[in-house]
Amino acid sequence: MKWRYRDVWVYYTLELDGFGSRLARPFAQYLRQAGNPPYGRCLEWCAGPGFIGVTLLRAGLIKELVLADKNPALEPWIARTRKANGLDFTFYRSDNFQDIPADERFDLVVGNPPSYCNLNPDHPLFDARRDDPRPHDPDWTIHQAFYATVRRYLRPGGELFISEVEPHAVEVVLPKTGTSIPYDLRPEEPLRAFRRMIEGGGLDFVAAESYLTSGGVTFYVVRSGMPSFLTPETSRRQTATSSQSSRPPETPLR
């Protein structure tokens, strides 16, 4: 399959799409409005086929792109996307940062990681999804390893924009699956857990803001970054002591 943003095509199969084909445009719109583009070198963590990163690159919101994902099935599709568009970007097959070279440095990290920490065995999709690498991050272990490591890969002023599903909700229902049985049963509000990880990793939490509602589920960007005392230019950042909400953008990015 192929997916288009302007004149750029992203190649993929259905089972590699973690909803990024739907999120990429509103995510870029959010970054354009709420962030400080253009950014220099950007990592898309848990990149899948690279819908978000390729969109940011083509939209001119970043200057250099690095994609990273642990799934080896992505490699031929990513190679095809690079060749078909003549796009210059790097792909690392890597479990979190394990195989990303230690001397890589990023100005921006974005991602749409697995967003559910405790899939409900009573949900009809449980058997199909429990071993799928897209939705499931049991006990947030992938997030924990990420936030414990990411700071050493950031340049001064580095920022993170990570897409999450309903980070204030302890239960997530997916209306499109035709049942009110919760799909994910979280032991606590995920944002509390993310803030602990962010601050434990030596970063500042900035905000959690909604940017899209689709299929009855709201997607948020959880923003964090290098501590402001290390980052003069982040004085432009809108720092929040508690989470914030904003209406999703009404006009999709073209």
Site residues for ligand SAM per CB under 6 A = 17-20, 23, 46-48, 51-52, 69-71, 95-96, 112-114, 133-134, 142
Give 17's contacts (C-beta < 8 A, 6+ positions apart). 48, 49, 51
Burial label for 250, CB within 10 Å (0-12, 13-18, 19+), is exposed
- Tell the smallest beta-carbon distance from residue 100 to ligand SAM (Å): 10
Cis peptide before 121 (omega within 30 of 0): no
C-beta closer to ligand SAM: residue 24 or 226: 24
- Tell the smallest beta-carbon distance from residue 92 to ligand SAM (Å): 9
The pairing of beta strand 39-45 with beta strand 62-69: parallel
Start-to-end Cα distance in the chain: 21
C-beta closer to ligand SAM: residue 150 or 234: 150
- Tell the smallest beta-carbon distance from residue 240 to ligand SAM (Å): 25
C-beta closer to ligand SAM: residue 111 or 157: 111
Residue 198 burial (CB count, 10 A): 24
C-beta closer to ligand SAM: residue 145 or 230: 145
C-beta closer to ligand SAM: residue 65 or 204: 65
User: SS3 of 216, please?
Assistant: coil
- Tell the smallest beta-carbon distance from residue 4 to ligand SAM (Å): 15
Residue pointed to by tokens 């890969």: 153
- Tell the smallest beta-carbon distance from residue 45 to ligand SAM (Å): 7
